[in-house]
Amino acid sequence: MLRILNLFSLLFWLAVIPFCIGLIPANFISAKKRGPGFILLAGYFGMWALFEVVAIPAVLFVKYDNFKVASVLFAVLSILCAAAGLWLWYRNRRSHKTSCKNDTNVNFIDRIKEWMAAQVKRMSWAERIEWFLFFILLGFQLYKAVAYASFDGDDAYYVVESLIAQQADVMYRILPYTGRPTDLDVRHALAVFPMWIAFVAVRSRIHATIVSHTIMPLVLIPLSYLVYYEIGRRLFRRENLSIFMILMTIFQIFGNVSIYTSETFFLTRTWQGKAVAGCLVIPALFWMFLWIYDGKKEVTEKRTTPRKAGRRHEDIGLWIVFVCINMTAGVCSSIAVFLVCILMALTAFCLAITERDYRVILKMGAVCIPNVIYMAVYVIVAYSGLF
């Protein structure tokens, strides 16, 4: 009975809550751009961004029981955000019954059912075989990641930090190597991904080591492939998407040419923040870049046609997700924040030239504001001596 309750708790915090949170930005983009994959990914990035907002102040300003404070506050805010997402979905569903003028008011459940039925119906037998092969390769990776879990020296820090938070309700105030109190280590203290793992462990009442080495690969590896799937939808025709996904699985399986490659981290250090930054956050940024490029093309086309009365502002939800992805970089790794800002700046510069719209620079600069604040906090904590 206890194991069943643990399983339901995991499903609640790792599936239900992220999906409901993802309904918030999904309500503010056009219906043709959202799907179950977008909603789930948006929910995870939104959840991690929310955890950063809650956990970092607790690390800095609460010395004793700071994990307990952050855990309770994050749980409450997550449930409230999930409820807000459900309310927006319900409101749009009701408005769709009375008016079908706005495509953003399409029932999510109906859209998901129609999308899944259309995908299966349009597939040829060759595509079905290719997708079957992809899922076989994905299942092989998940089996290897769980049954042959890799242990390395970093586990002595990251996994033990999660365990300390679970058992002592303290974040980054006890040195994992000795078990003694220590000063705040700014290099790790602002990257709170191990604390999110500890939160999942506490809510599910499962040992933090088991959550790190067994549960996280089963969650993060499929999420990474979901990002690749969304990228493939933007780059390839439907009949070529399965081949792209198969190639991605092959790259991941045979990418262990060095201990420093993203493929190595993807399968052997899945639960570490730097692995999530390299294999999930950065690909998600490219996913958003592709959406923005398509959005710019649509805006250009609409300028040549009369505007419809009452049309909403284009795709605010995409920019909300963009901000959450940038904030997730700080959850994963402090250096990832700097790398993401450089990538954003280069992409904004290229888009401004190719699209001849220099407002893109201002928009992406606004998206990076949380990262700038993060770096400012990092400098203050590292050099002020106040913490």
Closest CA to 273 of 202, 187, 341, 358: 187
pLDDT at 24: 92
Give dist(CA 91, CA 101) in Å, integer: 15
Closest CA to 266 of 221, 305, 228, 323: 221
pLDDT at 260: 85
Q: Within its chain, how far is the Cα of 375 from the centroid?
A: 20
From first to last of the 387 residues of the chain, give the pLDDT tens digit: 667 888 899 999 999 999 999 999 988 887 777 788 899 999 999 999 999 999 999 999 988 889 999 999 999 999 999 999 999 888 877 766 555 444 444 455 566 566 566 666 677 778 888 999 999 999 999 999 999 887 777 888 899 999 999 999 999 988 888 888 888 888 888 999 999 999 999 999 999 999 999 999 999 999 999 999 999 988 888 888 999 999 999 999 998 888 888 888 898 888 999 999 999 999 999 999 888 776 544 444 444 444 443 344 557 888 999 999 999 999 999 899 999 999 999 988 888 888 787 888 888 899 999 999 999 999 998 887 666
Rg of the chain (C-alpha set): 21
pLDDT at 121: 64
Q: What is the 3-state secondary structure (H, E, C) of the chain?
A: CHHHHHHHHHHHHHHHHHHHHHHHHHCCCCHHHCCHHHHHHHHHHHHHHHHHHHHHHHHHHCCCCHHHHHHHHHHHHHHHHHHHHHHHHHHHHHHHHHCCCCHHHCCHHHHHHHHHHHHHHHCCHHHHHHHHHHHHHHHHHHHHHHHCCCCCHHHHCHHHHHHHHHHHCCCCCECCCCCCECCCCHHHHCCCHHHHHHHHHHHHCCCHHHHHHHHHHHHHHHHHHHHHHHHHHHHCCHHHHHHHHHHHHHHHHCCCCCCCCHHHHHHHCCCCHHHHHHHHHHHHHHHHHHHHHHHHHHHHHHCCCCCCCCCCCCCHHHHHHHHHHHHHHHHHCHHHHHHHHHHHHHHHHHHHHHHCCCHHHHHHHHHCHHHHHHHHHHHHHHHHCCC
| Amino acid present at 60 | L
Contact (Cβ atoms closer than 8 angstroms) between residue 41 and residue 66:
no
pLDDT at 188: 86
Give dist(CA 289, CA 282) in Å, integer: 11
Q: Whole-prediction pTM value?
A: 0.89
Contact (Cβ atoms closer than 8 angstroms) between residue 9 and residue 203:
yes
Closest CA to 292 of 33, 31, 26: 33
Give the Cβ contact number of residue 179 at 10 Å: 11
